[in-house]
Amino acid sequence: MRSIFGSPWTVAVIALLIGIIVLARGGFGSVNGQRAGLGIVALLLIGFLWPPLGILLGGVALFFLVLTHGTALFQQVSQAFSGTGGSK
């Protein structure tokens, strides 16, 4: 268990999940997306310097994103899969 909480790669996985949510909600081209991109870079920097703090900050940020955008993201994904178009 010590290696999970002391590894900077855990922070990289959390940052990747945050990046996926940002991409699904509009990308990095908007002002909020650019702020999220800077936040991800800062999270990676903190995480590679001191992994426990990076995991804590990244976990809180990921929880906040899922809490605020989770239902809209779920609806967006479920509409994409339940479409009537496509070839058979």
In a domain, 79, yes or no: no
Structural domains of the chain, count: 1
In a domain, 78, yes or no: no
pLDDT of residue 85: 54
In a domain, 83, yes or no: no
> What token pair was written down for 37?
């991109």
In a domain, 85, yes or no: no
In a domain, 58, yes or no: yes
Q: Tell me if residue 57 falls in helix, strand or coil.
A: helix
In a domain, 15, yes or no: yes
- State the Rg of the chain over Cα: 16
Question: In this predicted model, what pLDDT tens digit does every residue of 9-62 receive, in sequence order?
Answer: 899 999 999 998 888 888 888 888 899 899 999 999 999 999 999 999 999 998
Four-residue CA torsion sign, 16, 69, 28, 40: negative
In a domain, 19, yes or no: yes
